[in-house]
Each structure stands twice: as structure tokens, then as C-alpha cells.
Amino acid sequence: MSRVGFIGLGIMGKPMAKNLLKAGIDLMVCDLNEQAVKEVVECGAQASSYREIGEKCDIVFLILPNGDISKSVLFDEGGVAQTLTAGKVICDMSSVTPVESKECFAGLEKIGVGFVDSPVSGGEPGAVNGTLAFMAGGRQEDFDKLMPYYNIMGSSAVLIGDSGSGSVTKLANQIIVNNTIAIVSEAFVMATKAGADPVKVYEAIRGGLAGSAVLDAKIPMIVERNFVPGGKISINHKDIKNVVNTAHAIDVPIPYSAQLYEILQTLKIHGHMNDDHGGIVQYFEALADIQVKKKD
């Protein structure tokens, strides 16, 4: 396989990079967090600059907080694009808007470099276990070059369509995941306030039509009051803001997601941005003056 660059060693990126190393990939890494870089270097990676990665790597993965940072890493002075040559492929796994993805695609196309927008679903557990789902937008030939690496880091990868399609799919994913967490939260706050044991309620409904991956992932965390992030509220706050802006730009009303954004905004004001997005329950708990937790 080719030498690979990996930029972004956060909650998701660090375990993804480690899985590439375990598979024997020759990996160059970069992140502003020196401790994260050190940890991955100790696993066999080489610490590098953006320019070095652009020069020496045929495939470059990015997983960064937002689209502005992705564009900066690629196109600013000292960025990856300054040393890229034709035939290489950039894969941006960050959650960004379709417009931002298309801008990156167009900028790299001018120098003959492929670009695939490929956000992921599966959270930190999926990153650690190598079971992420990749949603890709771009050219088939570029997607095909990435498949060997998708197979290491995840359990599925689908090319949705042209540039921006992966980012659109991620926004749809985030609408479903975050609204589901909110509805699950509302339901369990009501059940708890009414005197029911939330653990028993979960056991009773999880095998029926109300059962879901969200229910199974979040209720065990909520009843233990465990809001250590796999997916931070801050990231989902940003994603739902992107949902609202994208939907408004194409004249799609999104009443549930617009209300959800205000819920996330309230949690931001009250200092919950670094909580796992299961912490959305805290909004509904504050309204009802009750906590969803295991009974003593």
C-alpha cells in the first residue's frame, strides 16, 4: 500500500490512525496536540508537517473540527496542497457542509489531485473497534484508491455520488441520531418522573419497535450518569447548525432539527459542550426537575 498521511488525532482520529498502524500502514501524522502525536508516534507513525505529508504521501486523511480548519490545513500558507502532485487523493472525514466539500474538491481538481468527502458514523467505539461507516462523495477512481484503508478503519463504505454527497449524508445521519437521542431523553424523563425504573423501562421496550442503536448506546450511559464523550455535544451542535444552514439554503423546512438546535444551544449556555451527546437528556431533566438514573 501507499504511504499515508493522517491529520487530526482527536477522539476519533487517534484510534483510527492506530488501526492503520496495526495493519502495517506506513503512516505520517500531524496534529496541534503534541501529546496525541507523541502517542501515535510511539505506535510506529512518523511526526510530520502539512507540507511533508503533501510531498511524501499518496493518500492523505483529514478528520478535523470544521470545514474552515480543513480548508486552512489544505490551502493556507504551509498547507498540504502546496506540495501535492497530480494523482494523489485527499479524503476529508470531517463533518462539514456540502458547500465546503465542493470548494475543497474544486481547489484540488485544479492541480490534478482527487478529493473525497467522507464523514463517518460510529463514534469513538467504532473508531476504536474499526467498525466505522464511511459516507463518501467524489469520483469512483478516487474512492477505489481509498477502499483498502476504509476496510481497515471501518466495516462499510458507500460512494453516495458526486462531491458533497458524503457531507449531505452525514447531515442526514446527524438529524436522525440527535433527534432520536432527544426523543429518547424526553420519553425516559417522563417515565422516571412518573415513578418507573428507567432500567426496567429500557429492558421492556428495547426489543420492540422503539428499540434502536441509539437507545442501546445511550440509555446505559444515561442511567449511570456517564457523559464522558464518545461524540461531544460541541461537535453535534456544530453539525446541527450545518443542517439548519444547509436546509435553509435549499428551502427545506426542518422544524424538529431547528428546535433541536435550540436545545443544543441551551446546553452550550449551561456548560455541557464537552459532554457526550447522550447528555442531551440534561435539557429535559432540567425542565422536569428529575434525573434519569439507576434506582438505589
Residue 137 · residue 165 · CB < 8 Å? yes
168-288: CATH, from 3.40.50.300, 3.40.50.1220, 3.40.50.510, 1.10.1040.10: 1.10.1040.10
Q: Going by C-beta distance under 8 Å and a sequence separation of 6 or more, which residues neighbour residue 200? A: none
Residue 218 · residue 242 · CB < 8 Å? no
Write down the domain spans for the chain: 4-162, 168-288
Cell digits of residue 236: 453535534
User: 12, 50, 15: which is closest to 29 by C-alpha?
Assistant: 50
pLDDT tens column, 70-125: 999 999 999 999 999 999 999 999 989 999 999 999 999 999 999 999 999 988 89
Q: Going by C-beta distance under 8 Å and a sequence separation of 6 or more, which residues neighbour residue 78? A: 49, 50, 51
Model pLDDT, residue 1? 66
Class of 4-162 in CATH? alpha beta
Which residue among 18, 71, 102, 170 is the active-site one? 170
Q: Is the pLDDT of residue 295 over 90?
A: no
Average pLDDT of the residues of the chain? 96
User: 134, 124, 146: which is closest to 60 by C-alpha?
Assistant: 146
Percent of the chain at pLDDT exceeding 90: 96
Q: Is 18 annotated as catalytic?
A: no
Residue 57 · residue 2 · CB < 8 Å? yes
Q: In the 8-state DSSP scheme, what is residue 232?
A: B
pLDDT tens column, 7-31: 999 999 999 999 999 999 999 999 9
- Mean pLDDT for 147-153 is 98
Model pLDDT, residue 231? 85
- Mean pLDDT for 262-288 is 98
**pTM (2 d.p.):** 0.89
